[in-house]
Structure 1
Amino acid sequence: MLLATRRFQQFSSGSSTVETMKDRDTVIDEFKDLVNMTATELRAWLEQEQSLSGWAGGSGETIGHESAKDGDGGRRIVRILEHNPTENSSDYSDQDIDHMRRVVSYCKRHLAQEERYKHDTSSKSDYSLKNWGHDSLKE
């Protein structure tokens, strides 16, 4: 898996090292690796009652399920997948990349912290990951 191989690029400037965000291609590769549900699968999941059972966010909706005014969460992932079904990297907007970066960060952090729930398909952890497009049963 590509997940842990390229977290930050480092640039040396004299005696200090500056870490920058992941480059666009790395974000796209990691997004493709982590988001293993199709747009159809994710949309169907988000319509199920179970999808509301993940960890709750500040909006009262489940994290990843949010329908906030900027369309963050699983619904935004569905739009990204539908807008660019061929996964052509030049067809992603800067806003897509920003959201993909958020998805990658959330999924990687969540998977690392919740390893014990990885195979419990009825846990809040599993539901939340599915809201972000990651189905642990597909690995």
Structure 2
Amino acid sequence: MAQSAIDTQLWDEFHRVVNMSSRELAEWLRTRAAGPRTEALPDQAGPPTGQHVLSILGKRRTDLTDDDVRVIRKVVDRVHAERRDDLAATAGDPAWRHRMMSIGHDPLKPMR
């Protein structure tokens, strides 16, 4: 696996905005994918970005690939764009909260 350089600030910010544990995220992705046409492979449930975040949460910083770093930047940028300066716990619209949770950020939980 190719290593990729990631600065400490980006790594720390990713772990701050992704405020769901890997277990919480995995359970959420399985729950969201459940339905009449249940996901055939529950461990692969959810959107690709959510699955990638879950994979990153299980890695050490030194094991990241360039693709991992791209997803980390994408998630950090998206959370900041969606939350703007208001990073206090807030419910917001349920559909919005569910979209955010699918990338590991629960707006109802405090930031780490």
- TM-score, normalised to structure 2, is 0.69
Higher CA-based Rg = 1
Q: What CA distance in whole angstroms lies between the structure 2 residues aligned with 1:127 and 1:48?
A: 11
User: What residue in structure 2 maps to residue 81 of structure 1?
Assistant: 57
d(CA) in 2 for partners of 1:49 and 1:92? 27
Query: Per residue, is there more helix in 1 or in 2?
Result: 2
Compare relative contact order (CA 8 Å, sep 6+) and give the higher one, 1 or 2. Answer: 2
2:84 counterpart SS class = helix
SS in 2 for 1:120: coil
Is the aligned partner of 1:93 residue 2:65? yes
CA contact (8 A) 1:36 1:134 kept: yes
Q: CA deviation at 1:123?
A: 1.4
Pairwise CA distance, 1:112: 1.5
CA drift of 1:100 comes to 0.3
For residue 47 of structure 1, give the secondary structure of its aligned residue in structure 2: helix
The answer for unaligned runs of 5 or more in structure 2 is 1-5, 35-45
Structure 1, unpaired ranges of 5+: 1-22, 52-64, 68-72
Which is strand-richer, 1 or 2? 1
Count of matched residue pairs = 93
Whole-Å Cα distance in 2 between the matches of residues 119 and 105 of structure 1? 19
Amino acid at match of 1:38: S
What is the letter of the counterpart of residue 80 of structure 2?
K
Listed one character per residue, the Cα deviations across residues 22-80 of structure 1 (whole Å, up to 9, x for unaligned) are: x63222111011001111110100111389xxxxxxxxxxxxx423xxxxx10111111
Q: Which runs of 4+ in 1 moved over 4 A?
A: none
- Cα RMSD (Å) of the superposition? 2.7
